[in-house]
């Protein structure tokens, strides 16, 4: 009996949570949970908070129980969960208000900010600047506004990209004449987005028609797009002979990326990094939100070639959206979401044609060799890093320039590194090592 009690005393309960915006946060949580599992050592028990959208992504990970949280994030309810479950620490992906609420309940937090380049002074109250560990994911460039905010983080730790490799490897060098494609639409259920159908209505038919015209014969449509809407949109346009639809478990999605000739994706950062890890040729669809403007630009900067489709200015102007960040992310999202919704209502055919033509040009560049077009990235696409604590010591490829492919599809991932999941896991293990060893398994 004594041995059993001692074993139970070794169990530590960790609360995990990700922001409700696409599947990126949940994918990052999964990557860190995998890294923790490989370490062994202390027995860790995980309970999940909120993250309703991403729970299916974490279905294969050992999250014992999920707790819904009211929209008000009631401190009383959170304290009840923390106390009943004897939560000793928390791992929070991007959800700053929840991280702050957990700390107010006495729970030490490892916070992961995968989009530090978005930060402005207007974000300060929502960010856990005093968190026990604040992990900022490396980025291609850190604008001055973000540098000023991160300079005030008390315990800042820069980490590589927080991604999992999924166990897949690319089977062949990219072909200039793509035949198999993956079309990925994520991030469609963002909390502030009320009209989530507008984006796929504009982009999906355009992408399918461009793929068909380029000679692609097989495409899978992935992401959190409802099957009924996808089927409706597929039927409305020309599409490759083999067109399948459906959300994929993470490992299946990564295997698809490894096997396809080209990925067309709304520029979510996790998807871009996972494709970069595999060296999959990737073209960016128009952005859905503020972070995707940055992500598409970072992708093009890293590859030294503009490989993204932009919205016509009548939908919205990217630079105007970035300027509105100074008034808070909400103002920028009003412009972006409003412009996409109006285009779907009033100018759908014209906007779809513009997106289709843009994708057709990019697919043509793949067939002709991207390097023949040359770099097409504006030098001032983003301001240079500001004076704050910018990401130090970015890892660089050691391959001689002459030996690199004309288009190095791994460039984005190489720039920011790939060890972030292990680095975040290390931060959590170190945090736990400094806490009193008094946890016992909660009553069920």
pLDDT at 63: 83
Report if residue 172 sits inside a domain: no
Report if residue 271 sits inside a domain: yes
Give the full edge-to-edge strand order of the sheet including 12-18: 63-67, 44-49, 12-18, 87-93, 109-113, 133-137, 156-159
**Same domain for 185 and 157?**
no
Please check whether residue 203 is in contact with residue 285, taking contact to mean a CB–CB distance below 8 angstroms.
yes
pLDDT at 74: 72
pLDDT band at 6 (very low <50, low <70, confident <90, very high): very low
- Gap between the Cα atoms of 68 and 78, Å rounded: 10
Q: Is the pLDDT of residue 373 over 60?
A: no
Q: Is the pLDDT of residue 77 over 50?
A: yes
Most confident of the following: 10-24, 194-208, 416-430: 416-430
More reliable by pLDDT, 6 or 81: 81
Report if residue 400 sits inside a domain: no
CATH number at residue 321: 3.40.50
> DSSP 3-state assignment of 214?
helix
Q: What is the mean pLDDT of residues 199-203?
A: 94
pLDDT band at 287 (very low <50, low <70, confident <90, very high): very high
More reliable by pLDDT, 71 or 288: 288
**Same domain for 348 and 238?**
yes
Pull the structure tokens for residue 439: 């946890």
Q: Is the pLDDT of residue 88 over 80?
A: yes
> DSSP 3-state assignment of 155?
coil
- Gap between the Cα atoms of 46 and 56, Å rounded: 16
Please check whether residue 82 is in contact with residue 15, taking contact to mean a CB–CB distance below 8 angstroms.
yes
- Gap between the Cα atoms of 185 and 253, Å rounded: 12
Q: 242 phi and psi, to 5 degrees? A: -105, 105
pLDDT tens figures, 31-71: 898 898 887 656 899 998 876 666 666 667 788 888 888 76
Report if residue 440 sits inside a domain: no
Please check whether residue 397 is in contact with residue 414, taking contact to mean a CB–CB distance below 8 angstroms.
yes
Give the full edge-to-edge strand order of the sheet including 180-185: 242-245, 218-223, 180-185, 262-265, 282-284
pLDDT at 426: 95
pLDDT tens figures, 219-278: 999 988 888 888 999 999 999 999 999 888 778 888 999 999 999 999 999 999 999 999
**Same domain for 278 and 322?**
yes
- What's the burial of 10, exposed, middle or buried (CB within 10 Å: 0-12/13-18/19+)? middle
**Same domain for 59 and 184?**
no
Paired strand residues for 183:
221, 264
Residue 51 belongs to domain spanning: 2-165+419-433
More reliable by pLDDT, 374 or 317: 317
> E strands, 172-309, where?
180-185, 218-223, 242-245, 262-265, 282-284
The gap between the terminal CA atoms of the chain, to the nearest Å, is 19
DSSP-based helix, strand, coil % in the chain, nearest 5: 45, 15, 40
- Gap between the Cα atoms of 221 and 429, Å rounded: 38
pLDDT at 339: 94
Q: Is the pLDDT of residue 27 over 90?
A: no
Of the listed ranges 27-36, 363-372, 393-402, the one predicted with least confidence:
393-402
Q: 201 phi and psi, to 5 degrees? A: -60, -35
**Same domain for 140 and 31?**
yes
Q: Is the pLDDT of residue 2 over 70?
A: no
The string over 39-50, giving b where at least 16 C-beta atoms fall within 10 Å of a residue's C-beta and e elsewhere, is eeeeebbbbbbb
Please check whether residue 369 is in contact with residue 406, taking contact to mean a CB–CB distance below 8 angstroms.
yes
Angle between helices 290-303 and 329-346 (to 10 degrees): 90
Report if residue 174 sits inside a domain: no
How many folded domains does the chain comprise?
2
Please check whether residue 11 is in contact with residue 44, taking contact to mean a CB–CB distance below 8 angstroms.
yes
Pull the structure tokens for residue 393: 């010591």
Q: Is the pLDDT of residue 381 over 60?
A: no
Tell me which residue of 349, 344, 215, 202 sits closest to 286, measured CA to CA.
202
Please check whether residue 183 is in contact with residue 52, taking contact to mean a CB–CB distance below 8 angstroms.
no
Of the listed ranges 8-17, 129-138, 158-167, 426-435, the one predicted with least confidence:
8-17
- Gap between the Cα atoms of 342 and 315, Å rounded: 8
**Same domain for 190 and 318?**
yes
pLDDT tens figures, 206-235: 999 999 999 999 999 998 888 888 899 999
- Gap between the Cα atoms of 358 and 207, Å rounded: 10
Q: Is the pLDDT of residue 348 over 70?
A: yes
CATH number at residue 78: 3.40.50.2000
Please check whether residue 93 is in contact with residue 270, taking contact to mean a CB–CB distance below 8 angstroms.
no
**Same domain for 137 and 202?**
no
**Same domain for 12 and 159?**
yes
pLDDT at 327: 83
Report if residue 141 sits inside a domain: yes
pLDDT at 51: 63
Tell me which residue of 7, 15, 186 sits closest to 109, measured CA to CA.
15
pLDDT at 421: 94
Pull the structure tokens for residue 162: 């927080």
pLDDT at 438: 57
pLDDT band at 129 (very low <50, low <70, confident <90, very high): very high
Please check whether residue 159 is in contact with residue 136, taking contact to mean a CB–CB distance below 8 angstroms.
yes
């Amino acid at each position: 009996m004594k041995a059993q009690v001692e074993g139970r005393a070794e169990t530590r309960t960790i609360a995990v949570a990700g922001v409700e915006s696409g599947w990126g946060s949940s994918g990052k949580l999964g990557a860190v949970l995998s890294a923790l599992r490989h370490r062994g050592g202390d027995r860790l028990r995980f309970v999940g908070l909120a993250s309703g959208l991403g729970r299916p992504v974490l279905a294969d990970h050992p999250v014992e129980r999920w707790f819904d949280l009211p929209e008000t994030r009631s401190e009383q309810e959170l304290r009840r969960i923390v106390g009943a479950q004897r939560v000793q620490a928390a791992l929070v992906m991007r959800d700053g208000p929840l991280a702050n609420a957990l700390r107010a309940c006495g729970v030490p937090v490892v916070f992961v900010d995968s989009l530090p380049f978005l930060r402005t002074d207007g974000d300060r109250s929502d960010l856990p600047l005093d968190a026990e560990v604040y992990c900022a994911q490396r980025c291609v460039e850190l604008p001055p506004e973000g540098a000023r905010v991160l300079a005030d983080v008390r315990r800042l730790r820069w980490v590589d990209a927080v991604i999992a490799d999924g166990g897949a490897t690319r089977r062949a060098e990219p072909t200039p004449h793509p035949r198999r494609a993956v079309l990925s639409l994520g991030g469609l259920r963002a909390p502030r987005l009320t009209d989530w159908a507008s984006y796929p209505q504009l982009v999906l038919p355009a992408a399918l028609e461009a793929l068909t015209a380029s000679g692609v014969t097989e495409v899978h449509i992935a992401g959190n797009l409802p099957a009924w809407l996808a089927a409706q949109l597929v039927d409305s346009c020309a599409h490759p002979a083999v067109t399948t639809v459906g959300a994929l478990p993470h490992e299946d999605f990564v295997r698809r990326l490894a096997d396809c000739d080209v990925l067309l994706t709304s520029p979510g950062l996790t998807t871009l990094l996972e494709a970069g890890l595999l060296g999959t040729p990737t073209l960016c669809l128009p952005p859905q939100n503020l972070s995707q403007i940055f992500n598409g630009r970072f992708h093009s900067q890293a590859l030294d070639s503009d490989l993204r489709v932009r919205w016509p200015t009548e939908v919205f102007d990217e630079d105007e959206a970035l300027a509105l960040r100074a008034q808070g992310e909400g103002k920028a999202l009003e412009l972006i979401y409003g412009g996409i919704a109006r285009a779907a209502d009033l100018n759908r055919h014209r906007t779809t044609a513009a997106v289709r033509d843009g994708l057709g040009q990019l697919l043509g560049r793949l067939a002709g060799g991207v390097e023949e077009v040359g770099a097409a990235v504006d030098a001032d696409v983003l301001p240079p890093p500001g004076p704050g604590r910018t990401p130090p010591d970015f890892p660089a490829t050691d391959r001689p320039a002459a030996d690199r492919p004309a288009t190095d599809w791994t460039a984005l991932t190489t720039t920011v590194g790939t060890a972030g999941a292990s680095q975040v896991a290390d931060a959590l293990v170190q945090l736990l090592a400094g806490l009193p060893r008094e946890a016992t398994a909660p009553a069920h």
